[in-house]
């Protein structure tokens, strides 16, 4: 989920913590728990700091190790431990339990969007992206905001939380059933379907899909149950020639391949260099594929410039490549 949703979920969880008699009876503990649930609800995304190094490092690590099983345990202990240093007279056990729960909820809800996480590391590095909740879902966000307002106005936090989160659970079930119906229709209409990547949008009845068969990739939309294929690409494995092998050594290309299971590639020749481009097919928007990896290689098989990330125009992509190669 997005940062705003994680934060409001943390505040809502802090309100729920007041049903704990130990938290309710100790104002200092409540304040510590509220800080813990807010920070814990955002902590796994602290890996955003990798952006300060470069995009390749950020993409390779975002929602990876920071969302893993060991990290979930460490985040809970670290955050509650730091808070406990400032309020050593409160119950560490209760502070840790509520903070730990906030971290767990963060990682859990991230499983349901198209980006996904590597939540089951170290047992597997597979990305888990269930793809039926948008990264920002206005319904989930507003329900949590309503829960916080009700709590501040004096509503019973436990009962209110139970009601609101029962609605959210029903909403998740509804979105899962929506996705299942879409997958069923695609399988019925496109023979030989191997994999279907779904990406919900802000519109409840509008989805993006990327479909993999043994021979082709299909990119489409689903609106009100109607499937429309907008692009079709022949599925061609990465070739084993020098330019491509060189491109595969680039850090940006490695990060892209670590994250993107459904992509196509192209090679373009220019006067002084060859460009290798990998294009993720899951995020088509306004006739453009914004998530790419691009590497430019000169005639001596030396990498001139490269980039991976989200770019919504060719002009901006070329500026990124120029800046990456010529930092100011």
pLDDT tens-digit map of 291-314: 999 999 999 999 999 999 988 777
Residue 326 has pLDDT above 80, yes or no: no
DSSP3 helix / strand / coil % (the chain, rounded to 5):
50, 20, 30
Does residue 240 have a pLDDT over 80?
yes
pLDDT surpassing 60 at residue 136: yes
Place of tokens 């039926």: 132
On the question of pLDDT at 325 being above 50, the answer is no
CA 262/CA 251 separation, integer angstroms: 19
**What's the average model confidence in pLDDT over 262-269?**
94
Question: Is residue 5's pLDDT more than 80?
Answer: yes
Please give the biggest Cα pair distance in the chain: 74
pLDDT of residue 164: 96
Highest mean pLDDT among 38-52, 89-103, 251-265 belongs to 89-103
pTM attached to this predicted model = 0.88
Interior/surface letters 165-197, b for 16+ CB within 10 angstroms, e for the rest: beebeeebeebeebbeebbeebeeebeebeebb
Section 172-177 average pLDDT: 97
């Amino acid at each position: 989920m997005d940062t705003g949703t994680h934060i409001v979920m943390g505040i809502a969880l802090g309100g729920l913590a007041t049903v704990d008699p130990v938290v309710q009876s100790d104002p200092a503990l409540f304040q510590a728990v509220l800080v813990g649930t807010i920070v814990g609800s955002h902590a796994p995304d602290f890996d955003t700091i990798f952006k300060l190094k470069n995009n390749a490092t950020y993409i390779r690590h975002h929602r990876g190790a920071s969302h893993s099983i060991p990290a979930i345990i460490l985040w809970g202990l670290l955050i509650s431990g730091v808070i406990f240093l400032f309020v050593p007279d409160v119950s560490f056990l209760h502070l840790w339990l509520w903070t730990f729960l906030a971290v767990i909820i963060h990682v859990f809800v991230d499983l349901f969007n198209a980006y996904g996480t590597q939540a089951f590391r170290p047992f597997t590095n597979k990305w888990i992206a269930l793809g039926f909740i948008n990264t920002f879902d206005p319904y989930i966000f507003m329900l949590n905001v309503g829960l916080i307002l009700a709590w501040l106005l004096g509503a019973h936090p436990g009962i209110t939380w139970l009601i609101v989160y029962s609605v959210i659970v029903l909403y998740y079930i509804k979105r899962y059933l929506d996705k299942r119906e879409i997958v069923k229709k695609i399988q019925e209409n496109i023979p030989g379907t191997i994999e279907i990547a779904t990406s919900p949008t802000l519109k409840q009845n509008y989805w993006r899909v990327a479909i993999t068969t043994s021979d082709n990739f299909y990119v489409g939309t689903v609106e009100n149950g109607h499937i429309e294929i907008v692009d079709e690409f022949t599925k061609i494995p990465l070739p084993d020639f020098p330019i491509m092998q060189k491109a595969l050594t680039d850090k940006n290309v490695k990060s892209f391949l670590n994250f993107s299971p459904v992509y196509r590639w192209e090679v373009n020749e220019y006067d002084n260099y060859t460009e290798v481009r990998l294009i993720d097919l899951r995020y088509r928007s306004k006739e453009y594929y914004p998530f790419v990896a691009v590497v430019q290689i000169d005639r001596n098989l030396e990498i001139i410039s490269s980039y991976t990330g989200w770019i919504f125009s060719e002009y901006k992509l070329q500026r990124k490549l120029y800046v990456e190669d010529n930092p100011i």
